[in-house]
């Protein structure tokens, strides 16, 4: 057998014996090939999905790419700004670095403490040294550094000193709107004012929260009040400017005030909100409501007279006028001279139940509705007896907050429908929309009563106790109030709360200006008087003459015959009793 | 031999090519992402700067500060009710216009001189009457030290004048 034949035979034999194995291998390879091509198909399909279906098509459709969510998430961490009605920042959050130490990484606490106390103001050597020796791994050394301080600490090159990014609340306007905007803690938690009541919303971040305040009016109000408080050496005060039509509070200031940047150094007096939290016996400004109640419920003629010749005795109490007119007074005269006896008699005519209901309708017996949490509950007698009705008619024996007075009187002069004060700007409305939150559907007094009250309040400024509040051309109207403070359960004649509530222009009231001064002392210029007409009325006049040109309100000079109060003149008997009239109430 | 079949080569080159493409795409994505991140952090930084500047702007524009600055440096006073005039017609006629309005002089074409004038036409129409205009008067500007000081301050603050020492 030749070798070739053998080979051929062997090959044939191999062919024969391994045939099935080769077939099997071939089959497997096909299977693997199929498997791989399936995988490649899947990869291909995924590529098409990612590039075309998810990548190109949405872009062609113009829908937003998913990545854009991220910057918004970053923004979320920042507490939202608070701005005034013109967009001026009242509160904003800025990124700052805060210094903390990891004592485990500090080898030489003495050296680090020395270096820190030398370079960074506000870091005390001993305190820092004590902190750096603790066992803890995290100790705050100073929060919210300035960039310069951070740079200096970085220069020290100490590995144990580290920074954490934090957000600091900044109040660019300082004290100006401290009580309304409020303040927040170092951890960014709202502790007072809008910062507190809108804490959750502000913490979410996003769009700034716009308030109804106007920082320019706020400044005017604070400036004039500051002057008055200084001039009359007073303890403090409260001031409000409100839009009578919409109920928007344009300015509200409580003095003394504090720097919201640093509330920890403020005294309780400074932190106290006189505008909404403090409740005071308003004195004669309350006569607006008792007179309105009488005019609306009993519809008397204006010539109706009240005998004020002798003090009114009810039980143990005697009500008398400080400068008695000693003659019967007509309704306009009672209002103009601010006669306590006359107003008490009016209250008596209205009746206990009716007067109480009237006050309650005006919201004088409940905390005022406003978007901050610091609200005082009015102090009214638990049981109304007749004497309570008489004193409540001229503003004693009942305590309300200044904002109560402003909003209730606004409801009366704006046409007789209830207005609720608000501090948050409704932006849809601000863009020229109709005022939606203040429906004109809760009527307190009739249109006619409202008109009569406007006339009476104008009369107080033209002929009565508030002549110093007049600004020619703006037809200011209003009512003064002087109340004695209760010290140890007795009215103290030396300690007064003098106030003035004014509206302008009186023929169609748009703005309310309220000024209250706590414990003013008479000066030589005021002939020793510290009453509402001498203290608060001039300040309100100054505020109005500053704010009206700012708001672009045209003055309209009118003749005496065209003045709103002219039709009331026939009801005035004697013109010699004009000027600063003191109205007081004493208990015996 | 059999390994280098055409189909094998084709598949191999395709896979290499797609692998290379995938790699380059992945690299591009990474690069673009890093560019995007840098841009994003720059935007965040810029936003932060804007916030700081806005806060500073409103801090510097506090009404009491502006009031003090205006009082010391400008001759402006707050508007008073008396100074408001609802109608321009009510304004007193004391302001002499800086440049008095002047009628353009009528140019008489040369040939007009030889033009025959109808007898009926009035004499005056040919030559314009020259009416003497009031002498232009400059409104007197107040010259007081405060104004000079303010001008000087302005000059000092302009870097081009060599002032402005931070």
CATH code of residue A421:
3.40.710.10
Residue from A370, A360, A366 nearest A242 by CA: A370
What confidence tens digit (pLDDT) does each residue in A437-481 have?
A: 555 678 889 999 999 999 999 999 988 888 889 988 888 999 999
pLDDT tens digits along A475-522: 899 999 988 888 877 888 888 899 999 998 888 899 999 999 999 988
CATH assignment at residue A84 = 3.90.1310.10
Q: Which bin fits A416, alpha (ψ -120 to 50), beta or left (φ > 0)?
A: left
Residue A66 belongs to a domain: no
Instruction: Average the pLDDT over each of A43-57, A209-223, B125-139 and give the range with the smallest value.
Output: B125-139
**DSSP letter assigned to residue A87:** S
Closest-CA residue in chain B for A40?
A: B15
Residue A68 is assigned to a structural domain of this protein? no
Please tell me which residue in A246, A284, A343, A545 is annotated as part of the active site. Answer: A284
- Boundary (domain end) residue, out of A147, A180, A210: A210
Considering only the beta carbons, identify the residue of B40, B54, B79 that sits closest to A550: B79
Do A161 and A227 lie in one domain? The reply is no
Regarding whether A223 and A201 lie in a shared domain, the answer is no
Closest partner CB to A89 (pick from B44, B54, B64): B54
Taking only the tens place, the pLDDT of each residue in A225-263 is: 999 999 999 999 999 999 998 889 999 999 899 999 888
Cβ distance A89 to B58 less than 8 Å, yes or no, reads yes
CA–CA distance, A553 with A243 (Å, rounded to integer): 13
First and final CA of chain A: distance in angstroms? 154
The CA distance from A150 to the nearest CA of chain B, in Å, is 16
Among candidates B43, B55, B79 on the partner chain, residue whose Cβ is nearest the Cβ of A170: B55
Instruction: Looking at the structure, tell me whether residues A317 and A190 fall in a common domain.
Output: no
Does any domain span residue A258?
yes
Q: Which chain B residues contact residue A174 at CB under 8 A?
A: 62
**Residue A30: its H or E element:** helix A3-48
Q: Same domain for A198 and A224?
A: no
ipTM above 0.95, yes or no: no
A391 and A242 part of one domain? yes
Question: Looking at the structure, do residues A96 and A227 belong to the same domain, yes or no?
Answer: no
First to last CA, chain B: 83
Tell me if A62 is assigned to some domain. Answer: no
- Could you read off the pLDDT of A37-78 as tens digits, one per residue? 999 999 999 998 888 777 676 666 655 444 444 444 444 568
Question: Is the CB of residue B5 less than 8 Å away from at least one CB of chain A?
Answer: no
Q: How many domains does chain A have?
A: 2
Gap between the Cα atoms of A94 and A171, Å rounded? 11
User: With contacts defined as CB-CB under 8 Å, which chain B residues touch A471?
Assistant: 81
- The pLDDT > 90 percentage for chain A reads 28
Residues A206 and A263 in one domain: no
Contact A473 B64 (CB under 8 A): no
Evaluate whether residue A37 is within a structural domain. Answer: no
Q: Are A336 and A455 in contact (CB under 8 A)?
A: no
pLDDT tens-place string over residues A147-188:
788 888 888 888 888 888 888 888 999 899 899 999 998 888
Separation between Cα atoms, residue B107 and residue A585, nearest integer Å: 88
Task: Identify the closest residue of chain B to A95 by CA–CA distance.
Answer: B48
**Chain B residue nearest residue A177, CA to CA:** B62
Tokens 């007074």, residue located: A329
Domain of A287 in residue numbering reads as 219-571
Distance between A92 CA and the closest CA of chain B, angstroms: 7
In chain A, residues with a C-beta closer than 8 Å to the C-beta of B36 are: 67
My answer on whether A475 and A443 are in the same domain is: yes
Flag whether A282 is in a domain: yes
pLDDT at residue A359 is higher than 60: yes
Q: Return the pLDDT at B24.
A: 93
Whether residue A352 sits in one domain with residue A435:
yes
Selected residues 48-77 of chain B with any CB under 8 Å from a CB in chain A: 48, 51-52, 54-56, 58-59, 61-64, 67
pLDDT band at B121 (very low <50, low <70, confident <90, very high): very low
Q: Which two tokens stand for residue A7?
A: 């080979």
Interface test with A, best of B3, B43, B55 (most A CBs within 10 A): B55
Q: Residue B18's closest chain A neighbor by CA?
A: A44
User: At which of A193, A210, A227 does a domain end?
Assistant: A210
CB contact under 8 Å between B63 and A176, yes or no, is: yes
Same-domain pairing of A248 and A198: no
Is residue A548 domain-resident? yes
Looking at the domain assignment, is residue A343 inside a domain? yes
Q: Are residues A309 and A352 in the same domain?
A: yes
Is A98 labeled as catalytic in the residue annotation? Answer: no
CA-angle at A494, arms to A374 and A382, nearest 5° = 45
B43 in A contact zone (CB under 8 Å):
yes
- Contacts with A549 from chain B: Cβ below 8 Å: 78-81, 83-84
- Give the tens place of pLDDT for each residue, A82-96: 999 888 999 998 888
* Residue A141 CB-half CA count within 13 A: 34
Residues A441 and A362 grouped into a single domain: yes
> CA–CA separation, A305 vs A297, rounded Å?
17
Q: What is the pLDDT of residue A53?
A: 77
């Amino acid at each position: 057998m030749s070798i070739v034949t053998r080979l051929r035979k062997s090959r044939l034999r191999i062919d024969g014996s391994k045939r099935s194995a080769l077939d099997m291998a071939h089959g497997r390879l096909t299977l693997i090939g199929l498997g791989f091509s399936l995988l490649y198909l899947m990869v291909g399909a995924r590529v098409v999905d990612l590039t075309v279906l998810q990548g190109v098509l949405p872009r062609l459709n113009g829908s937003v790419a998913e990545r854009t969510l991220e910057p918004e998430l970053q923004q979320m961490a920042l507490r939202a700004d608070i701005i005034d009605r013109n967009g001026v920042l009242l509160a904003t959050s800025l990124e700052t670095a805060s210094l903390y130490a990891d004592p485990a990484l500090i080898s030489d606490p003495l050296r680090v403490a020395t270096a820190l106390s030398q370079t960074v103001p506000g870091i005390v050597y001993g305190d820092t040294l004590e902190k750096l020796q603790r066992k803890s791994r995290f100790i705050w050394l100073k929060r919210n550094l300035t960039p310069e301080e951070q740079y200096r600490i970085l220069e020290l090159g100490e590995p144990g000193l580290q920074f954490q990014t934090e957000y600091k609340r900044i109040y660019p306007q300082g004290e100006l709107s401290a009580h309304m905007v409020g303040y927040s803690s170092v951890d960014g938690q709202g502790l007072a004012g809008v910062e507190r009541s809108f804490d959750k919303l502000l913490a979410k971040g996003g769009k700034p929260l716009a308030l109804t305040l106007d920082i320019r009016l706020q400044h005017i109000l604070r400036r004039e009040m500051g002057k008055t408080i200084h001039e009359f050496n007073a303890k403090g005060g409260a001031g409000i400017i409100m839009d009578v039509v919409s109920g928007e509070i344009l300015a509200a200031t409580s003095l003394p005030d504090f720097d919201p940047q640093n509330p920890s150094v403020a005294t309780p007096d400074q932190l106290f909100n006189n505008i909404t939290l403090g409740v005071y016996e308003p004195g004669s400004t309350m006569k607006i409501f008792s007179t309105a109640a009488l005019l609306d419920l009993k519809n008397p003629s204006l010539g109706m007279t009240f005998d004020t010749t002798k003090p009114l005795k009810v039980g143990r109490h005697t009500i008398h006028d400080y400068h008695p007119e000693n003659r019967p007074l007509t309704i306009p005269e009672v209002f103009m001279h601010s006669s306590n006896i006359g107003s008490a008699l009016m209250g008596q005519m209205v009746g206990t139940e009716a007067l109480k209901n009237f006050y309650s309708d005006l919201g004088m017996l409940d905390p005022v509705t406003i978007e901050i949490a610091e609200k005082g509950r009015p102090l009214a007698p638990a049981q109304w007896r007749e004497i309570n009705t008489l004193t409540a008619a001229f503003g004693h024996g009942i305590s309300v907050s200044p904002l109560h007075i402003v909003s209730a009187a606004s409801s009366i002069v704006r046409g007789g429908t209830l207005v609720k004060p608000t501090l948050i700007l409704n932006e849809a409305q601000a863009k020229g929309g109709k005022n939606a939150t203040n429906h004109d559907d809760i009527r307190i007094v009739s249109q006619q009563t409202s008109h009569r009250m406007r006339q009476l309040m104008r009369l107080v400024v033209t002929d009565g106790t508030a002549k110093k509040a007049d600004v020619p051309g703006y037809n200011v109207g209003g009512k003064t109030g002087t109340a004695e403070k209760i010290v140890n359960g007795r009215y103290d004649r030396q300690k007064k709360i003098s106030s003035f509530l004014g509206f302008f222009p009186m023929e169609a009231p748009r703005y309310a200006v309220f000024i209250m001064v706590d414990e003013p002392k008479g000066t030589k210029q005021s002939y020793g008087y510290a009453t509402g007409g001498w203290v608060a009325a001039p300040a309100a006049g100054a505020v109005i003459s500053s704010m009206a040109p700012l708001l672009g309100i045209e003055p309209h000079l009118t003749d005496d015959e065209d003045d709103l109060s002219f039709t009331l003149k026939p009801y005035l008997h004697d013109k010699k009793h004009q000027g600063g009239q003191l109205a007081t109430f004493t208990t015996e | 031999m059999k390994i280098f079949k055409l189909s094998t080569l084709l598949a191999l080159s395709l896979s290499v090519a797609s692998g290379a493409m995938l790699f380059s795409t992945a690299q591009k994505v990474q690069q673009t992402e890093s560019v995007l991140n840098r841009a994003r952090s720059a935007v965040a930084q810029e936003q932060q700067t804007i916030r700081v500047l806005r806060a500073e702007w409103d801090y510097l524009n506090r009404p009491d500060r502006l009031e003090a600055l205006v009082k010391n440096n400008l001759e402006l006073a707050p508007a008073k009710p008396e100074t408001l005039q609802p109608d321009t017609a009510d304004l007193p006629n004391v302001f002499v216009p800086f440049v008095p309005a002047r009628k353009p002089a009528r140019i008489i074409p040369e040939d007009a001189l030889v033009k025959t004038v109808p007898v009926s036409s009035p004499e005056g129409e040919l030559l314009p009457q020259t009416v003497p205009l009031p002498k232009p008067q400059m409104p007197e500007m107040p010259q007081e030290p405060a104004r000079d000081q303010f001008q000087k301050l302005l000059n000092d603050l302009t870097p081009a004048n060599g002032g402005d020492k931070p």
